[in-house]
Amino acid sequence: MSNIVIVGTQWGDEGKGKIVDWLSEKADLVVRFQGGHNAGHTLVVNENVFKLSLLPSGIVRDNTKVLIGNGVVIDPIHLIKEIKQLEEKQIKITPENLIISDAAFLILPIHQLIDELRENKNGSNKIGTTGRGIGPAYEDKVGRRGIRICDFCDENELLEKLKKLYDHHNIWLSASGQDIQKPEGTYKKLLELGRLILPFVQPSWRVIQKYNSSSYNILFEGAQGTFLDIDHGTYPYVTSSNTVSAQAGIGSGTGPTAIDYTIGITKAYTTRVGSGPFPTEDTGEDGKKLGKNGFEFGTVTGRQRRCGWFDAILVKQAVQLSNINGIALTKMDVLDGFQDIKICVGYKLGSETINYFPTSNKEQKSIVPIYEVMKGWNGSIVGIRDFKKLPKEAKAYVKRIEELVDCKVILISTSPERSDTIYLKNPFDKD
């Protein structure tokens, strides 16, 4: 048995979908443990493109079961929509291969309304949310007024809980000059959706326990990236959940000793969507070239990503925060054609040189990257599947990243295609 956690080491969009898809081949269960449908994964399988934002990536595998854990917030309308979209592509989804935690919280239409109104009120100081209601849903969870999947089972209690939730939010809506919202329409819609969703529902912790006791392989699939973590990220420009590896157990129902290996998905350069600090952002021609070569547009929002150079300080900190055992280096091919490639190896903060990413938002915005410049390579590495066949400059780049982040690279992706990957170690294989 091996239980593996996958996390992003930057600001999300690191290419987790492809890596999870590869690992799913040896996983018996793939578990999504945090976030909502604000995080997108794109899979390319035999020229078929699958865009997922809530269902775990393993769902496209014939013999893999997937679990949406209690740490996820679920928009039931979007869930049914995503299931139907996959079924239209001949992906069979039944209670045999999809399990939904009975303790997961729901995202309601009122959450989306509040999310959008708040972001619009922020004007030029927008956080950069997707407007999908993730934050307000987590607020209701912590405020102990949220609606859970298990509430579908009691229609009378569901209505009473909805009334209390709407009463709470209508105070703010009324004070903001907005029309108050009535729960009855949402209630009727939830009853319809509940009948579709309940066949998939089980206690997630019991499922995890069953798989652990039977020596199966479990893959815990994180969404977003380390520096969008509510505790460890660039607060307040973060998501509303914990994205580091420790959340895998909390968001699904198991303890830390059940985790055997943690993989950090790491892009060979750096991107970010929305507002917030980004020390290595390149707004010049190189940044534009990275964006163009990497097709850097969000899977969920379609927003263009900000692009910049690899930040070794940031990634090393992510390695330490999640006790990452191996790096999966993605989108190496995007660096094709660059004469020089920069790597951030430290920061200047005023007159001081520091080797960590600071906590203070003011300091995060003030730091200036210190770059080391490496020679780029000629030609294209697209489709290369053997490390020995990489240009010497590309090999040197990988080795330098390993040195700077103090972690081995176990996989290198050389195109979006599933098969275009250099495998240096399979974490499911015992040493």
Set 37, 41, 111, 169: catalytic member:
41
28 flagged as catalytic: no
Written in H, E and C, the secondary structure of the chain is CCEEEEEECCCCCCCHHHHHHHHHCCCCEEEECCECCCCCEEEEECCEEEEECCCCHHHHCCCCEEEECCCEEECHHHHHHHHHHHHHCCCCCCCCCEEEECCCEECCHHHHHHHHHHHHHCHHHCCCCCCCCHHHHHHHHHCCCCCEHHHHHCHHHHHHHHHHHHHHHHHHHHHCCCCCCCHHHHHHHHHHHHHHHHHHEECHHHHHHHHHHCCCCEEEECCCCHHHCCCCCCCCCCCCCCCCCCHHHHCCCCCHHHCCEEEEEEECCEEECCCCCCCCECCCHHHHHHHHHCCCECCCCCCECEEECEEHHHHHHHHHHHCCCEEEEECHHHHCCCCEEEEEEEEEECCEEECCCCCCHHHHHHCEEEEEEEECCCCCCCCCCCHHHCCHHHHHHHHHHHHHHCCCEEEEECCCECCCEEECCCCCCCC
168 flagged as catalytic: no
Q: Among 117, 105, 126, which residue's Cα sits nearest to residue 172?
A: 117
Q: Count other Cβ atoms within 10 Å, centred on residue 387.
A: 14
Set 13, 140, 286, 311: catalytic member:
13
Active site (catalytic) residues: 13, 41
